[in-house]
Amino acid sequence: MDDEDRIALLIDYENLALGSRDHLGVPFDLRPVADALAERGRVVTRRAYADWSYFDEDRRMLTRNHVELIEMTQRMGASRKNAADIKMAVDAIETAYERDYITTFAICTGDSDFTPLVHKLRELNKRVIGFGVRDSTSTMLPPACDEFLYYDDLDGVVPAGAGAPRGDTSTGRGRGRGRGGPTKGSATPPAEPAAPEPQPEPEHEETEEEPTTDLASLVAQTVSGLQRSSGGAVTASVLKRTLVRKDSTFSEAAYGFRAFGELLDHLAGRGIIELSPGPAKGDPEVTLPEEGGRQEAFALLRQTVAELDDGSGVELSGLKDHVRARREGFSEKPLGYGSFLQFCKGAAAAGLVKLTRRGTGYVVTVV
């Protein structure tokens, strides 16, 4: 554990909550941020700053995620925005001096006022990771950070115009672990529910396989995230540690495996991952297959878009339902993608389709 990065997470909540609502059309959810940080180290401090009387539902969501809420009450007719910024900056500097075991600061805001704070933290030999909503983030802030992650691009963030099909709420977690989906904040109007699609009754044997399917999604997404964040080899021990960071109740025994190595052998046999000798005996390197069914899935997406396109493109919202109609049980998650939007971006990067932003949503066309 001594070689792990220890992370302090500080959230300018009003900036993120309003940015997510205004530019993505969805409430802010901490889970994608927490998962991204779990792939980078161990979060030891979590604080969010706001006047919480404006974010009642959000407050409950953050409390469930063990975030300390710092109250910055606004007086009637006056703005305390700068007070919250100052308090967050003071806490960051105080933490940097008093807790030298903290190696990394995650600053969640798109406000350029925090740029001097980022510079100072880096002068103090601290690594800084920034998070912000793309359309509400100043162009000055990302270059100042060691790493900057746009909230829009995180696994599990789906803009309002690119919603997942009804019933597709899988986040790759095991069942029965008490992990809910995004929580609606009081500052955000509820999203219009999608038109229900008729769902066939699952067979009994399919129901029995659901936990293992969730496990495959969770492992594939985690390996993919670790490969992106570290750029190096992902060993079984690192993978297991990251899975536990994401869900402290994770255990291979809950899925019927006697050891984590047995779980990995099972997934390797299904073609979800590949195993190769690692730096130490009993600690193999874990990778995603070079193709892993991606090209076949990309081809299916391209074929679906080609059949549906009337010349104006196909809206991303609802497209996954059409893909599933052509291949029952289709899911992008075992391929290592956190959302259908990211899967479509992968197909676009492969040159098979074109993804265009239109309003708050996306339109897909064949290249």
- Band the pLDDT of 292: cuts 50, 70, 90: low
The SS3 call for residue 157 is coil
More confident residue, 37 or 291: 37
* Domains, the chain, with CATH or none: 6-153 (3.40.50.1010), 208-287 (1.10.10), 294-366 (3.30.420.610)
Residue 69 has pLDDT above 90, yes or no: yes
Residues written for the chain: 367
Rounded percentage of the chain residues whose pLDDT exceeds 90: 42
Task: Give the per-residue pLDDT at 2.
Answer: 62
Map tokens 């479509």 to a residue.
344
Please give the backbone phi and psi of residue 115, each rounded to the nearest 5 degrees, phi first.
-60, -45
Task: Give the per-residue pLDDT at 256.
Answer: 87
Map tokens 């933290």 to a residue.
121
Task: Give the per-residue pLDDT at 107.
Answer: 97
The Cα 49–Cα 294 span in angstroms is 41
Mean pLDDT (whole number) for 79-103: 88
User: HSE of 288 in the Cβ direction (CA atoms, 13 Å)?
Assistant: 22
Please give the backbone phi and psi of residue 335, each rounded to the nearest 5 degrees, phi first.
-85, -5
- Band the pLDDT of 253: cuts 50, 70, 90: confident
Task: Give the per-residue pLDDT at 295.
Answer: 84
The Cα 57–Cα 280 span in angstroms is 47
Map tokens 């390197």 to a residue.
285
The Cα 123–Cα 339 span in angstroms is 37
Rounded percentage of the chain residues whose pLDDT exceeds 70: 83
Q: Kindly report, residue by residue over 107-116, the tens digit of the pLDDT.
A: 999 999 999 9
Mean pLDDT (whole number) for 283-303: 85
For residue 235, give the DSSP letter.
Answer: B
The Cα 319–Cα 168 span in angstroms is 13
Task: Give the per-residue pLDDT at 72.
Answer: 83
Residue 290 has pLDDT above 80, yes or no: no
Identify the weakest region by mean pLDDT among 68-77, 84-93, 241-250, 326-335. Answer: 68-77
Non-local CB neighbours of 117 within 8 Å, separated by 6+ positions: 89, 92, 93, 107
Residue 201 has pLDDT above 70, yes or no: no
Identify the weakest region by mean pLDDT among 60-64, 99-103, 118-122, 164-168. Answer: 164-168
More confident residue, 145 or 202: 145
Which H/E stretch holds residue 362? strand 361-366
Map tokens 């059309």 to a residue.
25
Ramachandran bin of 256, using left for φ above 0, alpha for ψ from -120 to 50, beta for the remaining angles: left
Q: Which two tokens stand for residue 173?
A: 């977690």
In this structure, the number of other CB atoms found within 10 A of the CB of residue 357 comes to 12
Mean pLDDT (whole number) for 272-296: 84
The Cα 160–Cα 192 span in angstroms is 9
Amino acid code (one letter) for 140:
M
Identify the weakest region by mean pLDDT among 50-59, 194-203, 317-326. Answer: 194-203
In this structure, the number of other CB atoms found within 10 A of the CB of residue 219 comes to 23
Task: Give the per-residue pLDDT at 204.
Answer: 38
In this structure, the number of other CB atoms found within 10 A of the CB of residue 120 comes to 15
**Cα→Cα distances 44→26, 32, 33, 82, 296, Å:** 28, 17, 14, 26, 42
33, 153 contact by CB (below 8 A): no
Residue 245 has pLDDT above 70, yes or no: yes
For residue 131, give the DSSP letter.
Answer: E
355, 345 contact by CB (below 8 A): yes
Q: Which two tokens stand for residue 341?
A: 């939007």
Residue 173 has pLDDT above 80, yes or no: no
Identify the weakest region by mean pLDDT among 53-67, 91-105, 116-130. Answer: 53-67
Identify the weakest region by mean pLDDT among 59-68, 100-109, 292-301, 306-315. Answer: 292-301
- Band the pLDDT of 188: cuts 50, 70, 90: very low
Ramachandran bin of 354, using left for φ above 0, alpha for ψ from -120 to 50, beta for the remaining angles: beta
Task: Give the per-residue pLDDT at 296.
Answer: 87
161, 362 contact by CB (below 8 A): yes
Residue 178 has pLDDT above 50, yes or no: no
Residue 1 has pLDDT above 60, yes or no: no
Task: Give the per-residue pLDDT at 3.
Answer: 74
Identify the weakest region by mean pLDDT among 128-142, 181-195, 207-221. Answer: 181-195
The Cα 160–Cα 21 span in angstroms is 9
Residue 186 has pLDDT above 60, yes or no: no
Task: Give the per-residue pLDDT at 212.
Answer: 66
pTM for this predicted structure:
0.67
